Structures are given as structure tokens and as C-alpha cells.
Structure 1
Amino acid sequence: ILNMDPPKHHRYRRLVNRGFTPRVIRTLEQTIDERARMIVDQLQSNSDIDFVADVAVQMPAQVICDMLGVPPEDQQMVVDWTNTMVGFDDPYWQNTAEDGMNAAVAMFGYCFELAQQRRAEPRDDIASVLVEAEVDGERLTDEELVMFFVTLAVAGNETTRNLITHSVMALDRFPEVAAELRADPSLWPSAVEEMLRWGSSIHNFRRTAMVDTRIGDVDIAAGDKVVIYYMAGNFDPAVFADPHTFDIRRTPNEHQTFGGGGEHYCLGANLAKVEIRAMLREFVDRVDSFTITGEPIRMRSDFINGINKLPMHIGTVAPAPLASTSASTSA
């Protein structure tokens, strides 16, 4: 679907839009907040953690797997497959191209079995929506179902976890911002937008011009390859005043992190924002201090701006407010 043109793209995108509408995302907010609390609950005060493994990867993996209909006992397996597929050329994961292919085959097989289950017993999840959907009067083929499943699993896991990680790296670099957010939670929506501008999870994307056109003062002929570098766009001084200042009150903030609009604007943009805000707010509010203690281990990729590992020391982890209320009531 990432590489489809209209009108075919319109037809396929409409199928999954139903799982990512603002109404659907609103219904998920309480669950996402609860997951954020549970993730921080597992952290130990005054300890060394890997922020990626212990915090960032947990939220998006659980949420997208739930939406796809993957049962809890299978979710880590799906995450491992996506890691292998995306990082097969990354020395950190010590996987080969063959490992990546085997992971893809395993995920394809799993998706096929899940589709058969949903055809027999539909549920309230995206897998059921896809197996019941029709394009031009025909049901999706097994290959098309697999395409959707893999795209959503990888995009919903890899990109959001990296956005969360880049965001906490910015907060470590600018600790006064974390203090501002603790003092004034109303700043979170605009802060998340600035975090998205500051640390895109994708390096670049390439498209092919279908007709002769012109962008700015550059002529582009039909057939030319056009590459967008997200970080370059997000730090363009012609668009952003003082772009190298991390300003959580920046407005407007028309960053390109989710594609900048158009046919291929990120389907899960609203979901990602809710996840990032919930996870980071819970972490910042309850962890009184955090410090990155070593160099981030970056993914070797010219596509994904990924962080494989982020060593961090955290201070005191406060109990969740609901837990405190419950304890005082029972006392």
C-alpha cells in the first residue's frame, strides 16, 4: 500500500481507515494510559535500564498487536519477527538476510492462520475487518491480507517506538523541558509535535514523478526520482523560525514526520501521538530524574532512524496515582 497510486490506493486505504479513525483512537486512550502505567510500574527506582527495551518498545508493540487481533501470548513473537525483518542487515541483531527471509515467511504463515480464524469467528479487530472487506466486489486475497498485516505490524511497532526514544533523548538533552511539562501538563500536545519535528523515525522516502512538475525553483520531469529527507524538511529555516531550538510551544508546527499530508499521510499518525504523549507523560511525571549514561546504539539503516539500545539511569519511580488512592482508601 505504501507504493500504490490512486485510484487503487484509495480503495485499499479505505479498508484500514476504519481501524484508525479519531473515534476509534479515542476509545483506545484509556487502555493506552493504563498500559503506560503498567510499563512504568515495572521500573525499579535508582536503577539502570535500557529505555528502548524496558519502555519504548512495550507500548506500540502491545497496542498494534491488540488492534490486529494478536493474542498476548503471541505478541513478543510478532515483535521478534519485525525486528528480524527490519534489522537483518544490522550487526546489533546479528541476523542474516536468510534470517530476515525466514522471519517474513513465519509472519506470513501466522497471518494466514489468523485470517482463517477470523473468517470462522470474526472479532472486533482489524484482522476481522480485513477478512470481511471487499475491493471492487471481491474479497482480499491471502497475499493482500499478508501485505496489510505486515505493513501495520512493522509500521505500528518500529516507527512509534523510535519516536518515543528520540523524544526522551530530547528531554535528556533539555532537562528544563521535562520540568516545564511536570509543572504544566497542558503543554503536552504542542510538546509532542515538537518532539516529532525534532526526531523523525524515518530518514527518507523516494517517489517517482508521474508528470512534469515544479517544486520551488526546481523542474522535475516525469520519471525523475524525488527523495524527501525528513530531518532536512523539519529543520528548514524557511518554514521554522530558529529551527535548531527545541521549543515545545512552537506554533504553527507543520513538520513532515508523518509525510506532510497527501495520499500517503501516515495512517497511524493520531494513534502514534496518543501513544507518545501517554508513555512520555507517565514516565516524566513518575520518574523524578533520568540520565542517558552511554552512546545510543543506532540501527544501521538508510531508511529507519532507529535506536536499538539507549542506556539510562533513572531516579525515584513514584507509585501510580491510582495505586496511591487505592492504598489510602483501603487504609
Structure 2
Amino acid sequence: GFWSITRYHDALAVSRDVETFTSSRGIRLEEMDDDELEARRTMMELDPPEHTRLRRLVNRGFTRRTVESYEDSIRALAAEVLDEALTADAFDFVTEVAAKLPMRMLGRLLGTSDADGHQLVEWGDAFLGNSDPEFTTHVIDTADTEEYRLMPFRSPAAIEVFEYAERQAAERRSCPRNDVITQLLAPTRDGEPLSDLEFKNFFTLLIAAGNDTTRYTMTHGLRTMMLHPSLWQAWRADPSLTETAVEEILRTSAVTMHFRRTATREVTLGGKNIAAGDKVVMWFCSANHDDDGFPHPWRFDLARDPNDHMAFGRNGPHLCLGAWLARMEARLVFEELMKRVERLEPDGEPDYMRSNFIAGIKHLPVRVVA
């Protein structure tokens, strides 16, 4: 069992106190044996200083200042993806836009070929959609995944990703580049490079994480605008609302629904006594709709400010590495979409991913209203 943390300020306290609430025993509802945990460990399952050691390798490539330098490239990519999709009067916004942009951009940061983009998306889907039969033939908890128990996400796709990562690493060792993979192969501050397993797990994490938040945030945001056309009209009439509108989409969609911690000592939280060793699950989807954190939390407010949501965590050491990149990608997609169409309208029902971890929309059929 586990404690559910549903209120904003309680979730905030847990996320910031890494000494009392550790990530080292796992971050999802899944309980892993020690050998599984060690084999699959990434910086997500580490606390400082070990977490900091890994994060520093790539952190400079994802800071706000660095991401701002990507704006022209991301805007051009968003325009390209949208122009491709808008050659049709009706299309699936997820497969044609929301899935393509984040992974193409991540591929360029990693230094992988644009031609590999579709494969990266499929691998990411297999990881985060490991409970959805559309994304994997080995559905966790229903199929026999025992032979993959030491692989990330208990997924057979990890075998292919590890092989791909090995090929990419070999290329960088013979010819280093100015990309994230080369940075991962560099010595850490203690002078030692990542182990082979650390490198592969880090690469896998980037493929998985680069596949969800932005993709599904864009999709939830567009669906909200289609269901409430007056919001879209108000936003389109006042582009200065874009920054706060994107933050509100992040808050209300809460794509990563939860993260888990484990209590390292006895502690009282929300009037409950939590014992050392107890699992504690922060439900961001609930915390982001707590009226103690957000006035009128069920109202979508294009101009909500402040908006200290927990879509990326909140300031602690585990704040999402790609938060600024996700924000920019979402902002630029909506800016470029508004230039091209009057609006989009639903052309069918959304198809949701089967998951208790990611609030994903797999398919969103839309039709162009010129």
C-alpha cells in the first residue's frame, strides 16, 4: 500500500524534502526488487549528491537561457510539422503534430538522425505506454515480462534502445560532437565517466521523457480550446496571453499524474503519521486542482498569474530537466497554429492511453476550420 498525497502544499513539501522522502526506492507505484532497481536506476531514482552528479552532465543544455537560444530552430520545426499536417483538411493532431515536434527536437539535441525520429517515438511509446496494448506486445502485469525485469520499464524495446545507444556512443567516441550524447560520455565532476549501464539508462530516460509531457500537454491544450471555442478566440485575439495560457494548460492537464517517494523516517504529514519505509505518492493531477493552491481550480483561466503548478515538480532537485524546452515547444506550436488556421474542431472522439502514470491522449482527430 501507499499514502496518497492529494493536496497542493503537502505535495510541495514532499517534493522538496529529499532527506525525508527519498526517490532511491523507486518513483512509480511499481515495487521493484533490489536487483531490478539497481539495473534500471536513473537519476530519477537518485537523490543529491548522486542525482546532481548525473544531472550536471547535461543540465546546461536545458537551462532557460540555453533553451531561449533554440527558439528560431524550434519555431522553424513547428512550422514545418504544422505545414505538413495542414496539407489535409482532417488529421490526427497527435500523430501528425504533437508526437513529431518534441522527438524531432530532442533528436537534434541528442545528435541523432532526423530519419530515426519515428523509431524514437515508437520506443518512447513502448516505455511510457507499457500498460497499453497499442504501444507494446508485452503489456506489463498481463503479459509475461519476467525476462525483461532488469530492463528499463520492463520492456523488450529497451534491448533495441540499448543497442542503438551503443552505436551512437561508438560514433561519438571516434568523432565527438556538440550534442547531448557526447556530453553524457564526458567525465563527471569527480573525473569518472558514466558506467556503460548508467549511460544506457540515461539515454533511455531521455527518449522516454522527451516523448510525453510536451506531446500530451499540446494535445490536452488543443482539446480544451476545441471544447471551449471562446477561450481560443480570446487567446487568438490577444497573443500576450500565450505564456500564461501555456502554464494553465500545463496545470490542468497534469500529464505526469504522480511520482512516488519513500519515507526515510517517521514523519507527520497532513495530520497522518507516516512510518519510515512507507511509500508516499504525490498526485500532481489532484494537487494542481487544489483550491488551497489555485483560486477557482476547475476554471481554465488564460491569464492565471501566479500559477505555481506542479506539472514539472516544483523547484526541488527533481524539477523536470526539460521544463523550459517543453514550455517553449508548446508555446511555439500554438503561436504557429494561430497564424495558419482560424481554428480546429473535433473530428471524432479522443483516444486515451491506458495508464495510471501518464494522462496521455493517443489520438485526437481534428478538422480544419479555415
TM-score using structure 2 length: 0.81
Aligned match of 2:91 in 41, 45, 49?
A: 49
Cα distance in 2 between the residues matched to 1:132 and 1:91: 38
Aligned to 1:154: 208
What secondary structure does 2:122 align onto?
helix
Which piece of structure 1 moves more, 6-15 or 53-62? Answer: 6-15
* Aligned residue number for residue 351 of structure 2: 297
Aligned pairs for 1:115-154 within 5 A: 115-154=169-208
Deviations 1:202-235 (A, max 9, x none): 1211110122333343332321211111111010
1:135: Cα distance to partner?
A: 4.9
The alignment partner of 2:45 has SS state of coil
Deviations 1:161-184 (A, max 9, x none): 011111111111221121122211
Matches within 5 A, 1:233-272: 233-272=287-326
3-state secondary structure, aligned to 2:212: helix
SS at match of 1:312: strand
Q: Which residue of 1 aligns with 2:283?
A: 229
Query: What 5-or-longer segments of structure 1 have no aligned partner?
Result: 317-331
SS at match of 1:186: helix
Indicate how the Cα distance of structure 1 residues 200 and 89 shifts in structure 2: closer, same or farther if over 3 A, else same: same
The corresponding residue for 1:324 is none
Q: 1:116-161 CA deviation, whole Å, 9 max, x = no partner?
A: 1111111111001111132522111111111111111110122210
Aligned counterparts of 1:137 and 1:129: Cα–Cα separation in 2: 13
Q: CA deviation at 1:83?
A: 1.6
Q: Is the 8 A contact 1:89 1:95 kept in 2?
A: no
Q: Distance in 2 between matches of 1:285 and 1:245?
A: 26
Write out per-residue CA displacement over residues 69-88 of structure 1, whole angstroms, 9 at most, x where no aligned residue.
Answer: 11112222222222223324
Residue 11 (structure 1) shift = 1.2
What SS class does the counterpart of residue 243 from structure 2 fall into? helix
- What CA distance in whole angstroms lies between the structure 1 residues aligned with 2:104 and 2:85? 17
Amino acid at match of 1:37: A
Asked if 2 retains the 8 angstrom alpha-carbon contact of 1:206 and 1:227, the reply is: yes
Q: What is the count of residue pairs matched by the alignment?
A: 316
C-alpha contact (below 8 Å) 1:33/1:278 kept by paired residues: yes
2-structure distance, mates of 1:135, 1:160 = 31
Aligned to 1:321: none
After the TM superposition, which of the residue ranges 43-52 and 71-80 deviates more from structure 2?
Answer: 43-52
Could you tell me how far apart the structure 2 residues matched to 1:304 and 1:135 are? 34
Letter in 1 for 2:252: W
Are the counterparts in 2 of residues 92 and 308 from structure 1 also a CA contact under 8 Å?
Answer: no
Of 88-97 and 183-192, more deviation after overlay is shown by 88-97
Aligned partners of 2:226 and 2:156: how far apart in 1? 38
1:198 and 2:256 matched? no
Does the CA-based 8 Å contact 1:182-1:285 persist in structure 2?
A: no
Contact kept, 8 Å, 1:294 with 1:310, in 2: the verdict is: yes
User: Is the 2:342–2:369 contact (alpha carbons within 8 Å) kept by the matching residues of 1?
Assistant: yes
The 5 A counterparts of 1:27-66 are 27-44=69-86, 47-66=89-108
3-state SS of the aligned residue for 1:138? coil
Deviation, 1:95, is 2.2
Q: Distance in 1 between matches of 2:136 and 2:158?
A: 16
Residues in 2 aligned to 1:133 and 1:59: alpha-carbon distance in whole angstroms:
31
Is 1:208 equivalent to 2:250 in the alignment? no
Give the TM-score of the pair, scaled to structure 1: 0.91
Which residue pairs with 2:52 in the alignment?
10
Distance in 1 of aligned mates of 2:322 and 2:269: 27
Equivalent AA in structure 1 for residue 129 of structure 2:
G
| 1:280-325 deviation per Cα after TM superposition (whole angstroms, max 9, x unaligned) | 2211331112111222111111111111111111122xxxxxxxxx
Contact 2:123/2:207 (CA < 8 Å) preserved in 1?
no
124, 131, 134: which one pairs with 1:92?
134
In structure 1, distance between residues paired with 2:106 and 2:237? 31
* Residue matched to 1:323: none
Distance across 2 between alignment mates of 1:153 and 1:276: 18
Partners of 1:213 and 1:16 in 2: how far apart?
A: 34
